[in-house]
């Protein structure tokens, strides 16, 4: 059993910055990756960023590449998403994701709203 708790969402003006955090607890042995997805109203959940738990390999959606940076702290079982130059199109519920062999866990989501 794994639990993910996100924080850092909120309301920000276009061009502003936010940093999201996610901490994992429970049976976290064997973590392969942690990452972020987002879902806007009426839209499908989409991939945002992912980082390998071993090493520093990262992957980003084209829509956020160059503006968002994912990082992790293995000792704390935490992952972060630094978001800059935010656009109204970034408005969505952001979900933390943890990948284990044969299983994925999800956080409850945190709302990010970017005003124009």
pLDDT band for position 47 (cuts 50, 70, 90)? very high
CA atoms of 111 and 10, how far apart (whole Å)? 6
Nearest to 35 by CA among 10, 62, 72: 72
Take residue 49 and report the two structure tokens written for it.
């960023």
What does the pLDDT read at residue 29? 85
Residue 77's φ and ψ, nearest 5 degrees, are: 50, 50
Q: What is the mean pLDDT of residues 22-49?
A: 94
Take residue 26 and report the two structure tokens written for it.
């429970």
CA atoms of 116 and 62, how far apart (whole Å)? 21
Residue 64: pLDDT over 90: yes
56 against 26, higher pLDDT: 26
Return the SS3 of 98: strand
pLDDT digits (tens, 9 = 90+) for 76-110: 999 999 999 999 999 999 999 999 888 899 999 99
């Amino acid at each position: 059993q794994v639990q993910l708790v996100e924080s850092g969402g909120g309301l920000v003006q276009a061009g502003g910055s936010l940093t999201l955090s996610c901490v994992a607890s429970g049976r976290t042995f064997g973590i392969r990756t942690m990452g972020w997805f987002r879902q806007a109203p009426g839209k499908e959940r989409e991939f945002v960023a992912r980082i390998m738990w071993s090493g520093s390999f990262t992957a980003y959606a084209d829509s956020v590449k160059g503006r968002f940076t994912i990082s992790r702290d293995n000792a704390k079982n935490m992952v972060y998403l630094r978001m800059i130059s935010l656009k109204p199109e970034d408005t969505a519920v952001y979900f933390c994701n943890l990948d284990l062999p044969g299983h994925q866990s999800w956080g409850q989501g945190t709302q990010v709203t970017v005003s124009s």
